[in-house]
Structure 1
């Protein structure tokens, strides 16, 4: 059973308590698998902690409420409600922004939230955006791949995991993305992150790679000769 009123502090960190933040927290808890929901909270906590190592102060150097709502909603694209015809990151961004706009978020701030959610799997892009997008990306990446975990304060990850256990999150989330993509191939373009995941679950060659795509482009391009002619 999913919580209707999740706690508002974890590992000694107070979560934003604005009406928008609490509504987004409850919405994420209602829509997503509990394992995925806990990942979204850890992403916020880790992103905020990484921000502190870069002298970024919540509420002063970045919009903490905005970073929080983007973090907790970033994976609603893998929920039943968020399962549309786009890759899960984009479906999730569209659903999240619709919810946030209905709850009074301005268009400019909603655009930042959309970027943070839609770009959270894009290596080398999210980290180059504004601080809210960058910290959202950093926290999510730390929780999934462990990148940047060395920046977290000593013992902080252990305290977070004690309150928000992982329960094999990386595989649970991967399986959810793959299940959606197998059911609807439009969600897993051959060059996308979901496409990379689903390729291992299809017969070899069923999903074209980059070289297949350029070979079929119709322009007649040929590979360059190697150095030996």
Structure 2
């Protein structure tokens, strides 16, 4: 951590082990994005009046941040969306190092929910701030902004290296190799749709694809009010 100067990374043994692990398994642009996620999440928390170590567990915020895209690594490339694969990989990493189950669960939730900002925001700060930090690093919009001199210092220590483009390529690459990693209407699925020009099935098509309960069989929707008819 000393290579990052006075940037406020936690210096615990577990945080440093997680940093080494993430650096080993994901490309540098994604690793830098994960590290910036922590810095921006923590700074956004401060903008909302939250103090590290007082209002939330700083080590857990860091672990959720630095490990949140490990599903895009070779060891993290399972059969689920990359966010869930990453959450499972992080949970295994932490459990193998004796981290308590309740703490592992918080990190799992932070990673599994990081693509779902509206949901993450309703959870505890360690979860909300991972999503907020990751989102800010890819598109600094929202009710809070960070000082330009701070973001410049972060980017000097952790260069962007085309982060958004590299993430896009990694997500789509995994999903093209394993289509089940990109279900319809998910973020990976949408990125694959944009890449390939695939057409999403309609709701009716999804509900009518075997096996199904055949809810549309004999149903005439023309001129009906939503929810109309006998119960």
Is the 8 Å Cα contact of residues 117 and 128 (structure 2) preserved in structure 1?
A: no
Spell out the pairing of 1:20-59 with structure 2 (5 A cutoff): 20-59=14-53
Match of 2:110 in 1: 116
Range with greater deviation from structure 2 (147-156 or 163-172)? 147-156
Match of 1:194 in 2: 188
Spell out the pairing of 1:1-12 with structure 2 (5 A cutoff): 7-8=1-2, 10=4, 12=6
Q: Unpaired runs of 5+ in structure 2?
A: 226-231
* Closer, same or farther: CA 99–19 of 1 in aligned 2, 3 Å: same
Spell out the pairing of 1:137-216 with structure 2 (5 A cutoff): 137-148=131-142, 150-205=144-199, 207-216=200-209
Range with greater deviation from structure 2 (147-156 or 134-143)? 147-156
Match of 2:66 in 1: 72
Aligned length: 220
* Closer, same or farther: CA 209–30 of 1 in aligned 2, 3 Å: farther
Which secondary structure does the structure 2 equivalent of 1:81 belong to? coil
Q: Unpaired runs of 5+ in structure 1?
A: 1-6
Match of 1:3 in 2: none
- The yes-or-no answer on 1:219 pairing with 2:215 is yes
Is the 8 Å Cα contact of residues 126 and 137 (structure 1) preserved in structure 2?
A: yes
1:82 Cα offset (Å): 0.4
* Closer, same or farther: CA 224–19 of 1 in aligned 2, 3 Å: farther
* Closer, same or farther: CA 101–131 of 1 in aligned 2, 3 Å: same
* Closer, same or farther: CA 215–224 of 1 in aligned 2, 3 Å: farther
* Closer, same or farther: CA 139–152 of 1 in aligned 2, 3 Å: same
Match of 1:16 in 2: 10
Cα shift readout 1:56-88 (whole Å, capped 9, x = no counterpart): 111111000000011000000001110000000
Q: CA RMSD in A?
A: 2.0
Which secondary structure does the structure 2 equivalent of 1:28 belong to? helix
Choose which of 80, 90, 112 in structure 2 pairs with 1:86: 80
TM normalised by structure 1 equals 0.89
Work out the CA distance in 1 between the residues paired with 2:222 and 2:58: 50
Which secondary structure does the structure 2 equivalent of 1:147 belong to? coil
Is the 8 Å Cα contact of residues 190 and 209 (structure 1) preserved in structure 2?
A: no
* Closer, same or farther: CA 215–40 of 1 in aligned 2, 3 Å: same
